[in-house]
């Protein structure tokens, strides 16, 4: 498993430095619009600049659709996940994978102190692991084949 740190992963993401968020009093419909515009499956919920929760497509399906609520009326605060598991930039990809597997979720906010500095998804982690494995395979093939410098 990759020992790459979250800060390295965030710096390589195309949307590095971008954290898509909504406020607790926004409507669920507005949150869905932001998810669609940004092509993401979850948003950080910020209140006064601090992490208040997460809203994911899963939250929407289970807490709005199945309960018969109206997206245009329901507030993010009423359906968001409040007890959010987070990581710091110093955590590794392996740490993130373990937390996601244990908690059965697909998005992790990254906190530096009490400030949200990014979000990593299961897709980000898998892409990092695949890239790291491809590099290792290339290095091993060069070593075995006696490539340049061997």
pLDDT digits (tens, 9 = 90+) for 79-92: 999 999 999 999 99
DSSP code of 62? I
Per-residue pLDDT band at 109 (split at 50, 70, 90): very high
Query: For residue 123, what are the domain limits?
Result: 6-144
- CB-based contacts of 108: which residues, under 8 Å, 6+ apart? 85, 86, 87, 96, 99, 100, 119, 120, 121
- Determine, yes or no, domain membership for 1: no
CA-nearest of 102, 101, 104 to 81 is 104
Both tokens assigned to 58: 């899963």
pTM of the model: 0.84
| Number of independent structural domains in the chain | 1
- For position 59, which CATH number holds? 3.10.580.10
């Amino acid at each position: 498993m990759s020992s790459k740190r979250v800060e390295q992963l965030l710096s390589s993401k195309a949307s590095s430095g971008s954290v898509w968020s909504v406020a607790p009093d926004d409507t669920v419909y507005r949150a869905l619009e932001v998810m669609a515009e940004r092509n993401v499956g979850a948003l950080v919920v910020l209140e006064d600049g601090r992490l208040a929760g997460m809203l994911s497509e899963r939250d929407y399906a289970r807490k709005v659709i199945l309960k018969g609520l109206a997206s245009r009326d329901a507030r993010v605060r009423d359906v968001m996940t409040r007890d959010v598991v987070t990581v710091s930039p110093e955590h590794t990809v392996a740490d993130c994978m373990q937390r996601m597997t244990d908690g059965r979720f697909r998005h992790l906010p990254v906190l530096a102190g009490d400030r949200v500095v990014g979000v990593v998804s299961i897709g980000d982690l898998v892409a990092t692991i695949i890239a790291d494995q491809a590099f290792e395979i290339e290095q091993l093939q060069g070593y075995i084949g006696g490539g340049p410098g061997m």
